[in-house]
Amino acid sequence: MTASTNNLLKCGAMKPFASSVECESRRGAMLPSPGEIMLVAALSYAKRGWSVFPARPRGKEPTTAHGVLDATRDETTIQGWWHAQPAAGVAIATGRASRLVVIDIDGATGEKSLERLQEEIGPLPVTAEVRTARGRHLYFALPERKAVRCSVGRLGTGLDVRGDGGYVVAPPSLHPTGSAYEWLRECPPAPLPIPLARLLDEHRSAPSNLPAGEKFREGTRNATLASLAGTMRRRGMGEDAIRAALLAENAAKCDPPLAGSEVERIAASISRYAPATPDRKAKPKDSGSAQWPEALAPEAFHGLAGEIVHAIEPHSEADPAALLLQFLAAFGSAVGSSSFFRVEGDLHRPNLFVCLVGVTSGGRKGTSLGRVRETLTQVDPEWAAKRIATGLSSGEGLIWSVRDAIEKSHPVRQKGHVVGYETVTEDPGIEDKRLLVVETEFAAPLHVMSREGNTLSAILRDAWDRGDLSSLTKNSPARATGAHVSIIGHITKDELLRCLSATEMANGFANRFLWVCVRRSKLLPEGGNFDLGEHPDLVRRLDHALKFGRTGGEMRRDDEAQEIWRTVYPELSEERPGLLGSIISRAPAQVLRLSVLYALLDESLFIRPAHLLAALAVWAYCEASAHFIFGDSLGYPEADRILSELRQNPEGLTRTEISGLFGRHRSEAEIDAALRAISERGLASRQSVQTPGRPVEIWKAT
């Protein structure tokens, strides 16, 4: 670097693009060449964290082989470019490459559109501003983990957006007309205003909320998209949905994107294969063939949730599924009920009911919860301290934890006569309606619900559905409106099947839960050493996601996600017979809520293909868990007990021995009905064995 360039950098520390005359007057340095002025500008932009590349002199076209994709902040590369082509202008890559969004205002038409835009969303903040040949550029700082695509005229005629994949020519470059780009206001760019971010979000058509740097480069694009298509096909998705998802992923992740015809060819090729998903209409497997669910698909670990789980997982014996589902439930509780998705008259908010089910008590369910709670405490200590509770025992107790103010009318007396009434607030109620109920011994509330007259089951169903809770109990004046109740439960499979009554299995209580099979993932004799302080970026992004979700708003699917939803909805909503059918009958609603959470974690009010695919992956695991947990159960306590005993006694049980299982407290008709239920499902058969006396009836599991 020449002496004059060094001097220019020094004197331009406050105004990096100070003219050579200004620098000469302040430092007495030699007048720098035009090439040195451009180099200084490029280097100063790079020091701000903006990626730059050279543009054609008195033009806008890149001069490097790959254009904006070559943009960099590397000083050596930048110096080499401008030493080789000193007359080149300076271009800045926008979007995530520089954490910048630039609004291009083109002439009087653009100014009028900007006025209309500000009438709609409010005045834009003062920010960095550049004069162009025909208008202005407004620079805004793009939040971490946010993405904005380029668009032309989407905000109004003459208003263009420069985001991911785009760039702007910057001062002191020359426009083709010969005029120079010039800073009108040189200051740090103001943060992208939330109303403007939402408006830009609406105009995006592809899932761009992706981790920084997550790109499929040349040589890997076809294979990666084909692999993704194979995953979707194995889950039974049709060609139209696969095509829509691949086109969205291609636009967002491939660098540079493949031609649309090539993406469509991949979708068509993979769709020729038969889906590998099992026939949902087939009977549930019996215990001899019931399998532990396959591991969560990679799509389930999309975005911030996946990154947090992957950061914790090496330092914990907990099942990744336990970490992920509890994190989603806890985040959904902490973010509150401001954001929602409307389905006809119902509003689905981001609250989940999750129950971890282990084969034994050694599934490290509590360990996983501790890690998740530690993470959320970093960003919302008040929620962690005050809005997590345990001890579900009655519906009235739950209402009291999220109650509205209790007011009563009291008579006003004068001289012994009632002359009027006044309203007195007897209890101020609970202002924060968020509540995460954690039951590490979930068998306890299940026992409570079996008691006659207990209202807990009904109130919990209302809490999942609406959040407006009340009880008809005479001595319970409390009610709650807008309650945002989430639940995390822990239980073993044996306890669950023993304690969950047939009524709760069938009345809609069980299908409001996501049932999650979990087990120890590894042995760590010395314990883990996870330190959240080593991941400040995760904490910062989680804090941003919580704040975004609390700003509230109605959520929708974008066009590509809607196309996928149309494809999978018939299968999700298909009615299935038996107990398992009732347990998983809320599949569409559960997938919807999961997709809402993934979208909010990406700071988006639009559900995109990546969010929906993540939700479908989680649901696939939960459904497989339900098969493992409930697939053997008939929802008929007597029949379930008999079938369990038959499987433990391969030689079979006589009718007398079966009656003895219940201490002879079941009638002959009840035993007959239970055996008939087992026999009709092909789970057991009856044999008649000749004896010296009367034939003996023996039942054996098939």
Full DSSP string of 517-568: E-------TT-----GGG-HHHHHHHHHHHHHHHH-EEEEE-HHHHHHHHHH
Identify the residue with better confidence: 453 or 566.
566
- For domain 298-630, the CATH architecture is 3-Layer(aba) Sandwich (3.40)
Angle (CA) 5 9 12, round 5° = 130
Joined together, the tokens standing for residue 480 give: 């709650």
Q: Are 162 and 97 in contact (CB under 8 A)?
A: no
Average pLDDT over the chain reads 81
Of 619, 603, 26, give the one whose Cα is nearest residue 299. 619
Phi, psi (rounded to 5 degrees) for 473: -60, 130
pLDDT above 50 for 279? no
Give the range among 82-86, 495-499, 550-554, 663-667 with minimum mean pLDDT: 663-667
For range 79-89, the mean pLDDT = 90
The secondary element (H helix, E strand) that includes residue 79 is helix 75-84
Give the pLDDT score at 636.
65
Comparing CA positions, the residue from 61, 20, 25, 17 lying closest to residue 42 is 17
Angle between helices 609-630 and 587-601 (to 10 degrees): 140
8 Å CB contact between 176 and 58: yes
| CB contact at 8 A, 100 and 148 | no
- Check if the beta carbon of residue 434 is closer than 8 Å to that of residue 383: yes
pLDDT value of position 531 = 74
**Mean pLDDT for the stretch of residues 53-73:** 83
In the beta sheet, which residues pair with residue 606? Answer: 556
Q: What is the mean pLDDT of residues 255-263?
A: 80
Q: Give pLDDT tens digits for 216-229.
A: 655 556 656 766 77
Q: Say if residues 319 and 521 touch (Cβ distance below 8 Å).
A: yes
Encoding tokens for residue 527? 């314990």
Just give the CATH number of 637-701: 1.10.10.10
Reported as a single tens digit per residue, the pLDDT across 146-162 is: 778 776 666 888 888 88
Predicted pLDDT at 41: 93
pLDDT value at 80 more than 60: yes
* Domain boundaries along the sequence of the chain: 3-203, 216-271, 298-630, 637-701
pLDDT at 277 over 60: no
Q: Is the pLDDT of residue 25 over 70?
A: no
Place of tokens 């998740």: 372
Q: Which residues, at least 6 apart from 318, have a Cβ–Cβ distance to it below 8 Å?
A: 312, 364, 365, 367, 368, 371, 518, 520, 521
pLDDT band (50, 70, 90) for residue 26? very low
Which of 17-26, 269-278, 552-561 has the highest mean predicted lDDT (pLDDT)?
552-561
For residue 64, what pLDDT band results from cuts at 50, 70 and 90? confident
Contacts of 341 (CB under 8 A, 6+ apart): 347, 348, 554, 555, 556, 592, 593, 596, 607
The structure's pTM equals 0.59
Peptide bond into 54 cis (omega under 30): no
Q: What integer pLDDT is reported at residue 364 of this predicted model? A: 56
pLDDT per position as a tens digit, 163-197: 877 889 999 998 878 889 999 998 999 999 988 88
pLDDT, position 367: 64
For residue 1, pLDDT over 60 is answered with no
CB atoms within 10 A of CB 368: 30
What local confidence, expressed as pLDDT, does residue 150 receive? 72
Write out pLDDT tens, residues 498-535.
788 766 776 789 999 999 999 876 655 555 567 777 78
Mean pLDDT of 690-697: 78
